[in-house]
Structure 1
Amino acid sequence: MKKMVFGAAVAAAVMAGLSGAAVAKDSYRFVIVPKVVHPWFDLVNDGAMEAAAYLKETAGVDVEVEYLAPQTASVVEQNQILERAIATRPDGIAIDLLDASANKPVLEEAQQAGVKLAAFDSVPPDGMVFTAIGNDFCEQAKLASERLVELLGGKGKVAIMQGVPTAPNHNIRYECHKEVFASYPDIELVAEGIDNDDIETAQKQAATIMQSNPDLGGWVACDAAGPIGIGQAIKEAGLEGKVQMVGLDNLPDMITLVEEGVADSSSSTRPQIQGFYSVMMLYDGANGIVTPKTVDTGILLISKDNLEGELR
């Protein structure tokens, strides 16, 4: 990945973290808990490791980042990982929630144990207060849906791949996709898939939906796996240019689909930066600094003409 360069504002935040604590420690351990084993979360971990190196260089502290990913998108497995992590008393845990209500009791247990929390690519459960690092999920979905509607000339049949329905960010995107489509009288939402953040599942569901709806005009998705699976199904059916897709996120396979013209574009989060700021917020929190409610990392609109993405 490209090395991220952070300026004086971040350096100042580091020093603020040091000066805000009564006694600064020489070392910290932070745990990153994603939704599932997935290439997108590998990029988050890359950013977290860069933050650890940055803190070592600028603040002279050792930061260990422990990355603990569920093998499947199971809230039971994710909560078990959380329980085990809490028992080891880390300085902080950053999590991408699979189910806010089901995760909440374990996250409350973490706070009661004095473990600092942050959410990345998600939002805290109702009634809990800790920093959320990510982007405006609704705006991200609307950006994609509006672009798809434009590609279809304001009329046609569309489908949504939901991701993990209980995941806060996926559900927010889903509802906002539907809101956009409902505002256009000549756009008909005819099908929805649930891929549970798995590319193979997304491919199979997309293939089935397109067979059942041969006049389908286009797709949007609520997770990073969805559009890759959809793109594979479009290619296998020979529907490039006939079924439109506006994807999600910036995984290499997603970029390739844009390059090939299988996807028109992608409405992307910035996973590396989310990982970086997750560690930074946990570090400040562990040093007694009041952290912001949200850190908005922005949205990139990636198109064939701009594969680096335009920040929105």
Structure 2
Amino acid sequence: MMKKSLFLSTLLVATTAFAPCIARAADDGGALRFVLVPKVVHPWFDKVNNGAQAAAQMLSKATGRAITVEYRAPQTADVSAQNDIIERAVATHPNGILLDPLDEKGNRSTMEEAVGEGVGLTVFDSPPPKDMDVTGVGADFCEQGTIAAERLVQLIGKKGEVAIMMGVPTAPNHAMRAECEKKVFAKYPDIKVVATGIDNDSIETAQKQASAIIQAHPNLSGWVACDAAGPVGVGQAIRESGQTGKIKEVGLDNLNDMIQLIKDGVAESSASSRPEMQGYWAVVAAWQKAASQKTPKYIDTGIDVLTKQSL
């Protein structure tokens, strides 16, 4: 018993001595710093960052302590680049990291590294890893994909050829939307999915792939997407092909370009997962975690269906 007590005491002293000085306890009145790591440089994530900064300002005013959010985005949707940013962030010992994972398996080691170093981890725009004590913030992505696919089905009269822009296939939320969209289309015997594109969250890539698919499938009736960039590129391709009104589109999210496509009649509608709200509540969850409070497994920010009428 004496040996055990001595060992535990020594372990406690060692653990305390090597605890990161920068990552202060949340109840000591010091400044709190969070790092926001999205999938890629992208206007959708600018909206997320706007919500995160608003939450930081609100919490700073409410608590009387400085709370900041640093925004660090990979230039391309590359898992290695994102992992490098996460590792660099962990090395600075922030109070929390807010992450939109590109690939749950590919990001796994760096997520575990953050948790192992005592850095609170919150994911947004993604379901949380099932076996990690991590809060996720976002919409019901299956419901979002289902809404888009069902709207398209009605638009094309429950028959015809359709295509799906997949986004980043390894991203949990993109994959979930695609799976649920395919399930919707499978319920209708007169609807056939004839093509899938992969845009890796790039509007330019989506436009190029959509143009090629439209040329290859002259009887194409409609499009859905799995990310925010995809439907913008698809809409541009529909407009450039001169098939506005003939090829129907239901988009995702609330980028300004997506809203303009709806106003112009290129897209009928868009199912938006409220990016500003995701950023806001991700910071609130991270702040609670930094205060050693239990946080929900998932915070559902809901879905807006954007149409000409609702705009």
TM-score, normalization: structure 2?
0.91
Q: For 1:153-189, what per-residue CA distance to the aligned partner results, in whole angstroms no more than 9, with x for missing partners?
A: 1101100000000000000001001000001101100
Structure 1 residues 184, 113: closer, same or farther in 2, change over 3 A? same
2:133 counterpart (129, 135, 138): 129
Percent of matched pairs sharing the same residue? 58
Q: Is residue 34 from structure 1 mapped to residue 47 from structure 2 by the alignment? A: no
Tell me which of 87, 93, 99 is aligned to 2:97. Answer: 93
Matched residues in 2 for 1:192 and 1:31: separation? Answer: 34
Distance in 1 (alpha carbons) for counterparts of 2:204 and 2:115:
37
Partner SS for 2:105: helix
Q: Which whole-Å CA distance do the structure 1 matches of 2:26 and 2:100 have between them? A: 30
Report the equivalent of 1:298.
302
**Residue 168 (str. 1) matches residue 177 (str. 2):** no
Aligned-partner residue type, residue 164 of structure 1:
V
SS class of match (1:267): strand
Q: Deviations over 1:199-251 (max 9, x none)?
A: 00000000000000011000000000000000000111111000000000001
**Structure 2 letter corresponding to 1:91:** N
Q: Give the residue type in structure 1 aligned to 2:62.
A: T
Structure 1 position 61, deviation (Å): 1.5
2:199 to 178, 195, 198: 195
- Offset, 1:56: 1.4
Aligned partners of 1:24 and 1:287 also within 8 Å: no
Deviates more, 1:205-214 or 1:120-129: 120-129
Which structure has the larger Rg over C-alpha atoms?
2
Q: What letter matches 2:282 in structure 1?
A: S
Considering only aligned residues, what root-mean-square deviation do their CA atoms show, in Å? Answer: 1.0
Deviations 1:85-104 (A, max 9, x none): 00000000010000000101
Q: Is the 8 A contact 2:163 2:223 kept in 1?
A: yes
The separation in 2 between residues aligned to 1:233 and 1:224, in whole angstroms, is 15
Amino acid at match of 1:47: G
The 2-side partners of 1:132 and 1:126 are apart by 10
Residue 257 of structure 2 aligns to which amino acid in structure 1?
A: D
In structure 1, what is the Cα distance between the partners aligned to 2:192 and 2:130? 33
- What's 1:83 paired with? 87
Question: What is the distance in 2 between the residues matched to 1:105 and 1:25?
Answer: 32
- 1:256 counterpart (246, 256, 260): 260
1:111-130 alignment to 2 at 5 Å?
111-130=115-134
- Is 1:238 the equivalent of 2:242? yes
Aligned residue for 1:235, secondary structure, equals helix
> Are positions 1:46 and 2:46 aligned together?
no
Q: Unaligned 5+ residue runs, structure 1? A: 1-20, 308-312
In 1, the alpha carbon distance for the partners of 2:109 and 2:241 equals 45
> For 1:22 and 1:254, how far apart are their aligned partners in 2?
40
**Cα drift, residue 126 of structure 1:** 4.2
C-alpha deviation, 1:24, in angstroms: 3.7
Unaligned runs of 5+ in 2: 1-24
State how far apart, in whole Å, the 2-side matches of 1:273 and 1:263 are: 24
